Amino acid sequence: MKNIKIIIAFSCLLNVFLIINLIVTNNRIDDTISRQTFKIQGDLVELESSITYQTEHKWKEENLVIEKIEDVQEDINSLITLGKDIGKLSREQEEDLWNLYNYLTKFPEYSGFPNKILSTDERKLLEKLSKDLRQVGWGMNIGYSGGWESFSEKLNNLLRQVS
């Protein structure tokens, strides 16, 4: 009888430990998704800032803007891959990310060489992107949240402006 009480007590402690571990792990996964979302938004702010800077300085280092676009696309790919691997990305979230990725494909692409010269039309398109990013809340000296709801709302506002 004494052994049964010890086994039951041990089993209860083990179950409590496993439940706590599950909760902590789940919170860490949610934090990781939130950090990646925050990183994408940070890169969008840097993109807006980079375009504004290049506009003000006659596009002397235009490749920096193209590299920033690539950074955002790489972060999107990372978040999609991570979210799928851990099963924490909803279909709607994945669709939002792909919409942003596809939206960014209409802009000039990084060739791997720092010698891309943008046409006047490409510059105007990027300047409009900068304005649109700023309008939805992704610009220098504008606060933004790491939460998915805020990200999704701003993203949908951005995509509505273009359609």
45-101 confidence digits (pLDDT tens): 999 999 999 999 999 988 899 999 999 999 999 999 988 888 888 899 999 999 999
Placement of tokens 């193209």 in the chain: 66
* C-alpha span between 74 and 115 (Å, rounded): 21
CB crowding 18-45: b at 16 or more within 10 Å, else e: eeeeeeeeeeeeeeebeebbbbbbbbbb
For 19, the enclosing helix (H) or strand (E) is helix 2-56
Question: Which pTM was predicted?
Answer: 0.83
pLDDT classification of 146: cutoffs 50, 70, 90: low
Residue among 82, 81, 77, 70 nearest 31 (CA) = 82
* C-alpha span between 28 and 157 (Å, rounded): 29
Q: What is the mean pLDDT of residues 115-134?
A: 91
When mean pLDDT is compared across 15-19, 81-85, 111-115, 157-161, the lowest value belongs to 111-115
